[in-house]
Structure 1
Amino acid sequence: MARLGLERGTMRRDLAIAGVSFVGGLVMLAVGVTHPFDSTTGVPVAVFVAPLALASAALVLRRIATRTGLAIGTVAVAGDLILGGSLPTLLVYSQVIYDACVYGPARLWRRIIAAGIVLTAVGAVAGIALFSSWRGLALGIVPALGVVLPAVTGISVRQYRDQATAERTRAEQTARLVELDRQQAVAAERTRMARELHDVIANHLSAVAIHATAAISIRERSGDAGGGAVDQALRVIRENSVQGLAEMRQMIELLREEANPDALTRARLSEVDRLVARARGAGLTVRLETVGEPRSLPVSVDLAAYRIVQESLTNALKHGTGEAGIEVGYAAGMVLLTVENPVNSAPAAPGAGAGLIGMRERAALLGGRLDAGVHGKLWRVHAELPA
């Protein structure tokens, strides 16, 4: 529907151009502008209306049938020249030539240029022969102005139009590549989280297996006398099972790709000092502040918080001025993370841009939120994770 509306709008515009050209030509004929060199040809002015109308009609076909429009315009100007020639028809025909070079195929404008050059040369030679004077060169001005000049102008406009189309296509391709890179970054981050999921769930299931073995062993050795110890072991089993399943459901909601299990170093928010020490060793001055009473967190939240702080410090090293501040807050049911660093005006180290995507993915996975951006003169990352 949109394309049909565009085509209708284009046709109405072409009809308007043809109508205005015809009316303008009639006004020129009415005020006595007929022959380009001599207005006293002896031919009635009304005779020139027919070729003018035919040349104006050719403008309607300038987009949908360029070759046909050029042929009609050429017939019209040929008939007009046979009658003695009129300036309005020649002007309309120059517009037909221009449109043929802009909207027609490349082969067509090459032929128009060649024909215009030949007509200019023939007109100049014929003028010298007819008038026996160098003034006869003026006869070559008509094809030069009516054919060559509009053709050259149309070719220039066509080149600019083609260049704009190429730039627009390049921009669209770049946008698609950026989107593809973003999708690949998300997929890579999810694959990484899938590997970490294995490590997180394996910890709980290992505890379940150990305590289940202990419960069975106690029952076999002591019968009913060991009921209290068995109950304790079963409670531990239930607690680890429920916690492991809850965390697995949270992470599986966004993870759909299989990942090969891989041995990963356990990362916890309680070990943020290790991250700070590593960043300081790399030359970053880090200020760490803890608000509230630190407490044990679900493994998925613990891991996500650790990764967010880690990625924020990495960004501070790459894009900052050598300083960073970390605030870890323990609120009721929430863990609040804030990492700030001054923004460096110098060119930053190149990066893939996947860090922010990964941090947002982790926060969204847990039902939290993460904001990152310029805050005053600082780059600020603030995350709220439910705990």
Structure 2
Amino acid sequence: MTARWPSWRTDLAISLVSFLGGLVLYAAGGWRVFLGGGPWAHAPHWVLLVPMTVMAACCLLRRLAPGTGEAVGLVALAADTLLGGSLGTALIFTQVVYDACVYGRPWLWRANLIGSVAASVLAAVAGVVASGDWRGVVLGLVVALVAVLPTVTGISVRQYRDQARVQRLRAEEIARLAAWERRQAVADERARMARELHDVVANQLSAIAIHATAVLSAPDPSPQLVRRAVEQIRESSVSGLAEMRQMIGLLREDGDPGAADPATRPGLASLPQLVAQAQADGLAVELHTGGVDRALPVSVDFAAHRIVRESLTNAWKHGTGSAVLRVDVDTDRVLIETDNALRTDGPPPGGGHGLIGMRERAALLGGTLSAGAEDGRWRLRAWLPLRHSEEATV
């Protein structure tokens, strides 16, 4: 809306509407309604249009120079008062005061508040003294309506806008911090996987060296022994190349390879231990497995272990004490599914970095992971392809 209707057009529209409204009040006889007379009361009625026009022009300065606009408006109001006081000029002045409190500097609204209250009191006293009747206090009420009321309204709007701006900045800062934490969690997970793959490739190279040493150590190796050794060397090298390709994709930046986290080294072979640990923590696990005794690429095995462990941890933290775990392995993929009821007194799982790490592992292996709450239950489904079982070409 702001791009289609710039602020200067809004200011111009307010100024024109104020001027036209003043003309309507003038035509309806809204002139010399306050004092009924004044030092310049003998002037023609149309002269009242001059301060009214100046007052409407002050609305053009509502954003650009609100303090200057209010100062000019005070001069125009003083001239209008000397001419007898017209209703249109007084009403436009309320807009000028309001704009000065909303868009002006902080000291301006404070000065307006003090000055308008003081002017209202002085006008009430002057009205009583001039008329000799207590009903002269009405003059102070008129000044309060023209000056105090728009000042208070402008201060309220200004404070609301300031609070909204602070809340918006705070929300943006929280969003930036959350984005940074997500990036950091992804980077940590990639570094963890890179360390694991570093150990895997080292193991494959060690196996190649062992088989080559066995052949070289034999005094008169038979063709069958040489063939078996070469086959083992080829199998280890192909697997190592596949793992190395993935490690190069993970290592976006130089880092300390370090030692692999011992908690992530086991694979699906440790599935019974994971379930037993979850049950020891108080989570009743209903386990369904299929094909978990198949040989898996080490990176997939590590990722599957990590996903199972994190999903059971989420079920224990945020569930009602029971979960269903399904792990199915076939010739081309590993399928992991967990299903548990959610507690009503806690947030759903996935608010931390565990879910981010699981998704990152699945994505880097070419798989998918979906998780979410549905009908009071938390369901997670991970699909990991066994692509590293294919032969790599040099």
TM-score, normalization by structure 2: 0.90
Query: Is residue 232 of structure 1 aligned with residue 228 of structure 2?
Result: yes
Counterparts of 2:290 and 2:191 in 1: how far apart (Å)? 33
Counterparts of 1:96 and 1:375 in 2: how far apart (Å)? 55
Residues 62 and 264 (structure 1), Cα distance of their counterparts in 2 relative to 1, 3 Å cut: closer
* Residue of structure 1 in register with 2:126 after alignment: 126
Displacement of 1:43 after TM fit? 4.3
* Residue of structure 1 in register with 2:275 after alignment: 276
Displacement of 1:132 after TM fit? 2.8
Displacement of 1:213 after TM fit? 1.7
* Aligned residues of 1:320 and 1:344 also touching (Cα < 8 A): yes
Counterparts of 1:129 and 1:263 in 2: how far apart (Å)? 92
* Aligned residues of 2:70 and 2:96 also touching (Cα < 8 A): yes
Counterparts of 1:349 and 1:343 in 2: how far apart (Å)? 7
Counterparts of 1:281 and 1:226 in 2: how far apart (Å)? 53
Counterparts of 2:333 and 2:109 in 1: how far apart (Å)? 71
Query: Is residue 187 of structure 1 aligned with residue 187 of structure 2?
Result: yes
Query: Is residue 198 of structure 1 aligned with residue 198 of structure 2?
Result: yes
Structure 2, unmatched stretches of 5+, are: 387-394
Query: Is residue 213 of structure 1 aligned with residue 195 of structure 2?
Result: no
Counterparts of 2:371 and 2:349 in 1: how far apart (Å)? 18
Query: Is residue 320 of structure 1 aligned with residue 319 of structure 2?
Result: yes
3-state DSSP class of the match of 2:222?
A: helix
Counterparts of 2:247 and 2:321 in 1: how far apart (Å)? 35
* Aligned residues of 1:284 and 1:324 also touching (Cα < 8 A): yes
Residues 65 and 37 (structure 1), Cα distance of their counterparts in 2 relative to 1, 3 Å cut: closer
Displacement of 1:255 after TM fit? 3.1
* Residue of structure 1 in register with 2:177 after alignment: 177
Counterparts of 1:82 and 1:38 in 2: how far apart (Å)? 9
Counterparts of 2:362 and 2:16 in 1: how far apart (Å)? 63
Displacement of 1:133 after TM fit? 3.0
Residues 84 and 376 (structure 1), Cα distance of their counterparts in 2 relative to 1, 3 Å cut: closer
Counterparts of 1:267 and 1:293 in 2: how far apart (Å)? 13
Residues 191 and 173 (structure 1), Cα distance of their counterparts in 2 relative to 1, 3 Å cut: same
* Aligned residues of 2:269 and 2:292 also touching (Cα < 8 A): no
Paired amino acid for 1:105: R
- Number of residue equivalences: 380
3-state DSSP class of the match of 2:276?
A: helix
Paired amino acid for 1:280: Q
- Aligned-residue identity in percent: 52
Matches within 5 A, 1:1-387: 5=3, 9-37=6-34, 43-218=43-218, 221-222=219-220, 225-257=221-253, 258-265=255-262, 266-292=265-291, 294-347=293-346, 353-387=352-386
Counterparts of 2:152 and 2:347 in 1: how far apart (Å)? 47
Counterparts of 2:301 and 2:246 in 1: how far apart (Å)? 14
Counterparts of 2:275 and 2:94 in 1: how far apart (Å)? 75
Displacement of 1:268 after TM fit? 1.2
Counterparts of 2:260 and 2:368 in 1: how far apart (Å)? 28
Structure 1, unmatched stretches of 5+, are: none
Displacement of 1:226 after TM fit? 3.4
Residues 369 and 351 (structure 1), Cα distance of their counterparts in 2 relative to 1, 3 Å cut: closer
Paired amino acid for 1:60: L
Counterparts of 1:351 and 1:384 in 2: how far apart (Å)? 18
Paired amino acid for 1:328: V
TM-score, normalization by structure 1: 0.92
* Aligned residues of 2:314 and 2:349 also touching (Cα < 8 A): no
Counterparts of 2:97 and 2:321 in 1: how far apart (Å)? 65
3-state DSSP class of the match of 1:63?
A: coil
* Aligned residues of 1:32 and 1:39 also touching (Cα < 8 A): no
* CA deviations over 1:186-222 (Å, ceiling 9, x no partner): 122122212212222222121112112222223xx22
Counterparts of 1:115 and 1:38 in 2: how far apart (Å)? 21
Backbone CA RMSD of aligned residues: 2.2
Displacement of 1:347 after TM fit? 2.1
Counterparts of 1:302 and 1:351 in 2: how far apart (Å)? 22
* Aligned residues of 1:208 and 1:241 also touching (Cα < 8 A): yes
